[in-house]
Amino acid sequence: MKVTWKWLNEFVDLKGLDIESLEGRLASQGLHIEEIFRPGEEIRDVYIGYITKIEPHPDADRLKVCSVNMGERGVLQIVTAALNVQADVYVPVAVHGAVLSGGLKIKRTKLRGVVSEGMFCSLQELGLAEHSDGICLMTDLPEPVAGDPAHPYFSLDDTVIDFEITSNRADCLSVYGIAREVAMAAGRSLIKPLIEVRESDIPVERCIDVELREKEKCLRYTARVIQGVTVKPSPLKIRARLGLVGLRGINNIVDATNYVMWEYGLPLHGFDRNEIRGEKIIVRTAGSEESFVTLAGQQLKLSPDDLVIADTKQGIALAGVIGGGNSEISEQTKDVVLEAALFDPVSIRMTAKKHNQKTDSSYRFERGMDFDLASVSSLRAAELIAQWSGGSVCKGVAERRNEAFQPHRIVPLRLSQVSRHLGVSLNEEEVRDIFARLEYHVEKKTEGTLLLTVPSNRYWDISREIDLIEEVARFYGYDKIPESLPQMTMKKGRSDKKSLFKEKAEKHLLSNGFYEVYLYPLISEELVKKSGYEPGQVPRVTNPLNREMEYMTPEPLLGLLKAAELNMKRGMKEIRLYEWGKGYPSPDCEEEILSFLCTGDAPKTVFSQGYELGFYDTKAVFEGLLGELLPGNIEKRASRRSLWAPETGFVYLINNEKIFETGRLRDELTGFFDLRHDVWGGYGHVGILASQVRAGRSFVPFSIYPPVYYDLAFVTDSALPAGALAEEIISEGGSLLENCRLFDLYEGKTLPRGKKSLAFALTFRSQERTLTEKEIDAIIQRIINRAKKKFQAELR
């Protein structure tokens, strides 16, 4: 909500203050300033000029050469292309060195060989309109002085303050309402300006009749009539002020209603009286399928939920939302019917929402307008219309209202509740004083309870005791309320299996060099399909930010591919990532998933050879994870998921429930993300994994006797898994074999084709005694025999 400093000063005398000095106090009252803008600091060197002569340009039909009297600044020659340029008018002139809205710099230049010493400005170039047709001709000003700075003529010497108004403070959607808060912050009093309207002898009832049929949806309807208006642009100063606060000048009648809406908050509407059939305004609900054309030319199908303003034949406005094209103010309008009404917020909101007609008017009405505002707003608008259009205001107001509606709520406040909620004790005097300053009527009901009459401007916001307590806090000052800590009762502390699991899992991920990432769980339809899901089954956002973020991801691992791609593109070579994410395979399922992947190369270092990241790097992680689970029937099967390249995917299960999958991602997926290396990854179901995590292990007694070491190397078929041979060794080694470690794997020239060498380092130790060589030799021989028998493995 933009207001200007000078406009505020019409309602509160702020002499000696500036907005910056009030900013902190206003913020604590709940009025936050979003921006303070001084147009005069941006726009420089624009002066008033008087065009004395216009001559054609010798070389261009489109251009004209003007002589401009700049008073003390002499006479300038300005070449212009403006179509509306004319002699004997005052115009704003940007001279050499001037700066206009948006930082546009003006310089002396030659246009088709003719020197131009400046530029005529439009309202747009002065930052006062979004769009202007032609330059600004200052025809309606009493007598500008050539050579004067243009700023005061265009309100450019004013300060624009943009307030952020929370949705409960409809009373602050106006200059007057903000002035009320500013007055409070500044400790000054609010001025209620005198509104002077000279009414004619013609009673309003002779021109218009009002029938209010819907008293729940329309609490008050007032109409005034202004006759004999001349519709034309409003005064330049007004257009400039409207421009400063972001409103568009249309004509003097519409501008007057907008000006008053900005000033007092209540949206007003002007109808062309001659277009109202039967000289009657009927406030009624729409018929089913009733059609209505807005003044923007949009055709709407109404229903009985919608409130319309109608004449005896048809709807002329969608009440409180938008006017109708059929009764709009036009240049031909002679008599104006001025509506000032109060509509029910919910009704307006639902209608505006249903028909997608969010207007300045519906914005205000749905937040709740002040019942009492109708009279003052109507009077003020009549004053301005009469002033700007030369019309005469009919005598009186045609008004209908819901008599049962009481705009001044009475709410009781128990003083004990103030301290209960705020933690600070205020006595009755202090509370009374705050409410008196806020224009509440205060009465004592019983000892410790006050009865407060809420001002009508806060009707929609303040209806409960707690709302009153907030008012007390707001004006007592949040900052004065002393800090304390709650008096808590101790309770049972509970440990959490999931966080235990996460901690353990994270240890394995981090120690293996994986980095945690955070991803958007939103993906495109294409990616949903690529991941093997039906888009129809996956939860979809109906109003996505863009197509790339339309579906909830059923497969968080895919998000990691995107992060891998970004890092690859930026030159990173060694990529290990993990995410604690969620999978959303259906609208009823949202599951915590731990995903991880690795791709690229681990570089060569002084201590180790470089290698391509792959299966063994992911295995390091899931081996660690599985090791944290309760020992038992973990089962491993080949995975059939299309996520994995053929024969690379494996799934681990506990009690037939999948806990974990891993594999190499299918080339089609990695190719989609422009990843050229193999990508190995996996994901785990956090919930089930966490339920299987083992908190601790039991102590295993260890031997104090010396170990005996023995190395054994076997030549076996290449296809034989090392683990199979190790299992046989361990089984044959029996209880004396403490450790069996594969320390070398060799395939190469010194071995026959299809053979490999596996070398194991064995550690033997007894729990009871020192072992003898003889004992060990016997075991070794048995191992050798078994390896030979089982796998035809030969000692190397």
Partner 1 sequence: MKAKEIIKNIIDDFDRSCAAVTSSEEWNEVRVRFLGKKSAVTALMKQLKEASPEEKKALGKAINDTKAYMERCLEEKKKEAGRDEQKKLPDWSLPGRGQIPGKVHPLTTVRCQMEDIFIRMGFDIKQGPEMETAWHCFDALNIPETHPSRDEQDTFYLNKKNMVLRTHTSPVQIRTMLEQKPPIYMIAPGRVYRNDVLDASHSPVFHQVEALAVDEKITFGDLKGVIYAFLTELFGPQVKTRFDNSFFPFTEPSAEVYMSCFCGGKGCSVCKGSGWLEIGGAGMVDPEVFRAVNIDPERWSGFAFGFGLERMAMLMYGVPDIRYFYENDLRMLKTI
**Minimal distance in Å, beta carbon 506 to partner 1?**
7
- Positive or negative: CA dihedral 275, 279, 283, 286: negative
Q: From residue 127 to residue 166, what is the string marking binding to partner 1 with x (rule CB under 8 A)?
A: ---------------------------------------x
Cβ closer to partner 1: 72 or 483? 483
Q: Could you say whether residue 511 binds partner 1 (CB under 8 A)?
A: yes
What is the side-by-side strand order in the sheet with 209-212?
209-212, 280-285, 307-310, 315-318, 322-323
Rounded alpha-carbon distances, angstroms, from residue 422 to 102, 394, 430, 478: 48, 53, 14, 9
Q: Could you say whether residue 496 binds partner 1 (CB under 8 A)?
A: yes
Q: Which of 539, 585, 687, 707 binds partner 1 (CB under 8 A)?
A: 539
Cβ closer to partner 1: 355 or 755? 355
Question: What are the residues whose beta carbons fall under 8 Å from the beta carbon of 452, sequence distance 6 or more?
Answer: 410, 411, 412, 413, 435, 440, 441, 442, 443, 468
**Minimal distance in Å, beta carbon 421 to partner 1?**
6
**Minimal distance in Å, beta carbon 222 to partner 1?**
25
Q: Could you say whether residue 549 binds partner 1 (CB under 8 A)?
A: yes
Q: Could you say whether residue 567 binds partner 1 (CB under 8 A)?
A: yes
Of 491-499, 627-635, 648-656, 745-753, the segment contacting partner 1 by CB under 8 A is 491-499
Q: Could you say whether residue 516 binds partner 1 (CB under 8 A)?
A: yes
Cβ closer to partner 1: 51 or 509? 509
Q: Could you say whether residue 29 binds partner 1 (CB under 8 A)?
A: yes
In the 8-state DSSP scheme, what is residue 488? P
Of 94-102, 111-119, 397-405, 464-472, the segment contacting partner 1 by CB under 8 A is 464-472
Using CB under 8 A, which residues numbered 283 to 322 contact partner 1? none
Q: Which of 405, 515, 533, 615 binds partner 1 (CB under 8 A)?
A: 515
Q: Quick check: 203 and 396 in contact, CB under 8 A?
A: yes
Q: Which of 198, 570, 749, 753 binds partner 1 (CB under 8 A)?
A: 570
Of 56-64, 511-519, 694-702, 753-761, the segment contacting partner 1 by CB under 8 A is 511-519
Using CB under 8 A, which residues numbered 602 to 661 contact partner 1? 605-607
CA-based nearest residue to 534, from 560, 562, 520, 555: 555
Q: Could you say whether residue 530 binds partner 1 (CB under 8 A)?
A: no
Q: Which of 19, 469, 737, 758 binds partner 1 (CB under 8 A)?
A: 469
Cβ closer to partner 1: 316 or 348? 348
* 448 vs 465: CA distance, rounded Å: 13
Bridge partners for 684 per DSSP: 594, 660
CA-based nearest residue to 50, from 93, 107, 109: 93
Residue type for position 207: C
Residue 412 neighbours by CB distance under 10 Å: 15
* 306 vs 353: CA distance, rounded Å: 11
CA atoms within 13 A on the CB side of 261: 27
359-363: Cβ within 8 A, 24+ apart:
359/321, 359/322, 360/258, 360/261, 360/267, 361/261, 361/267, 361/269, 361/320, 361/321, 361/322, 362/320, 362/321, 362/322, 363/173
Q: Which of 178, 229, 509, 725 binds partner 1 (CB under 8 A)?
A: 509
The residue with tokens 């005996």 is 708
CA-based nearest residue to 269, from 343, 356, 331: 343
Q: Could you say whether residue 521 binds partner 1 (CB under 8 A)?
A: yes
Q: Which of 15, 131, 494, 753 binds partner 1 (CB under 8 A)?
A: 494
Q: Could you say whether residue 168 binds partner 1 (CB under 8 A)?
A: yes
* 74 vs 318: CA distance, rounded Å: 55
* 468 vs 464: CA distance, rounded Å: 7
**Minimal distance in Å, beta carbon 501 to partner 1?**
14
Of 202-210, 342-350, 396-404, 773-781, the segment contacting partner 1 by CB under 8 A is 342-350
Using CB under 8 A, which residues numbered 370 to 399 contact partner 1? none
Give the tokens for residue 334.
């002679």
Residue 436 φ then ψ, to 5°: -65, -40
Cβ closer to partner 1: 206 or 354? 354
Q: Could you say whether residue 576 binds partner 1 (CB under 8 A)?
A: yes
Of 115-123, 273-281, 293-301, 567-575, the segment contacting partner 1 by CB under 8 A is 567-575
> Read out DSSP for 7-25?
HHHTTB--TT--HHHHHHH
First to last CA, the chain: 88
Using CB under 8 A, which residues numbered 428 to 447 contact partner 1? none
Q: Could you say whether residue 356 binds partner 1 (CB under 8 A)?
A: no
Q: Could you say whether residue 584 binds partner 1 (CB under 8 A)?
A: yes
Q: Could you say whether residue 412 binds partner 1 (CB under 8 A)?
A: no
Residue 244 neighbours by CB distance under 10 Å: 24
Binding residue count for partner 1, defined by CB under 8 A: 85
Q: Could you say whether residue 488 binds partner 1 (CB under 8 A)?
A: yes
Of 296-304, 487-495, 706-714, 719-727, the segment contacting partner 1 by CB under 8 A is 487-495
Q: Could you say whether residue 484 binds partner 1 (CB under 8 A)?
A: yes
